[in-house]
Amino acid sequence: MAKCAFIGLGVMGYPMAGYLQKAGHEVRVWNRTAQKATDWALQYGGTATDDIADAVTDCDLVFACVGDDPDVRAIAAPAFNAMKARAIFVDHTTASAALARELAVEAKARQLGFVDAPISGGQAGAEAGQLTIMCGGHEDDFARAAPVMDVYAKAITLMGEAGAGQLTKMVNQICIAGVVEGLAEGLHFAKRAGLDGERVIEAISKGAAQSWQMENRYQTMLQGEFDFGFAVDWMRKDLRITLEEARENGARLPVAALVDQFYADVQAMGGKRWDTSSLIARLEKD
């Protein structure tokens, strides 16, 4: 069993840290809102602290799941200062590949390991312990971290050196953006054509149109319910990072860029915290 710290107890980090504790690891948690860390400790039996240095001291692995590049930098600085030699910092945040490479260099200079390990599967995947994890980093660091991450994962893949995990997550978000918009347009068209949406999905879901989004979101999309899964605000953050990377590497992403603007429309409708399937609401707005 490992001594672990978990920094960031949002909708993803809270259950992920819980799986570590339930698996028998010794877990200390820190969260920007201290009460949430206290609540977690009461629920799972681990240790809450209001100081990042206290959380990470003597830990073998330090996991982080926060919001964006500035948030990662803000926690990495005090964490790196307090971590013991050969400890590994595993960043589950969806952040930029440039930041991952920067932190990997800094970690190496301090005799620390670093793995960028963004996750896919949403809140439901975190709560079920069925996340997909895309990793970048040194093989030895990955080999030490992967068996511990396995308690909340269904798939963990090392994609290459530092930053490769973040780049792979960008591919994931590019693909999701197009699929969700296509499903939204399909369901919107079905309604306007006078078709029964449920029967349409029954007819097409066993063929080439099938997707996770179709299986898990079509009913709530038809009902106009958007309180499930990944928020529009976070998707726009991910697409911003992806489009910035595309400008650097020359990739052309016309669909991702267009869907990003569609999500901006959803935000303007008051849907900042709606889940990403809310693209259909934009199409059905009077």
Tens-place pLDDT, residues 249-272: 999 999 999 999 999 999 999 999
Q: How many CB atoms within 10 Å of residue 151?
A: 16
Cα gap 185→218, rounded to integer Å = 12
Unique residue bearing structure tokens 């977690």: 40
Please give the backbone phi and psi of residue 58, each rounded to the nearest 5 degrees, phi first: 70, 10
Indicate the pairing of strand 26-30 with strand 47-48: parallel
pLDDT of residue 210: 95
Task: State the average pLDDT over residues 196-225.
Answer: 96
> CB 271: neighbour CB atoms within 10 A?
20
- The backbone region for 13, taken as left when phi is positive above 0, alpha when psi lies in -120 to 50, beta otherwise, is alpha
Task: Report the chain's C-alpha Rg in angstroms.
Answer: 20
Residue 80 in tokens: 């790196």
Residue 229's pLDDT is 77
pLDDT score at 228: 83
pLDDT tens readout for residues 109-134: 999 999 999 999 988 899 999 999 99
Q: Which of 36, 84, 108, 169 is catalytic?
A: 169
* C-alpha–C-alpha distance, residues 216 and 94, integer Å: 22
Helix axes 212-223, 197-204, angle to 10 degrees: 170
Quick one: how far is CA 165 from the chain centroid? 11
Closest CA to 150 of 162, 177, 132, 125: 132
Reading the block at residue 229, the tokens are 């899964």
Asked whether residue 285 carries a pLDDT value surpassing 90, the answer given is no
CA gap 180, 78 in Å, rounded: 39
Domains of the chain: 3-161 (3.40.50.720), 168-283 (1.10.1040.10)
Give the global pTM: 0.95
Catalytic residue flag (residue 169): yes
CB 189 within 8 A of CB 199: no
Q: Give 115's DSSP letter.
A: E
Distance from C-alpha of 29 to C-alpha of 25, rounded to nearest angstrom: 12
- Separation in Å, CA 53 to CA 72, 82, 139, 274: 15, 5, 27, 35
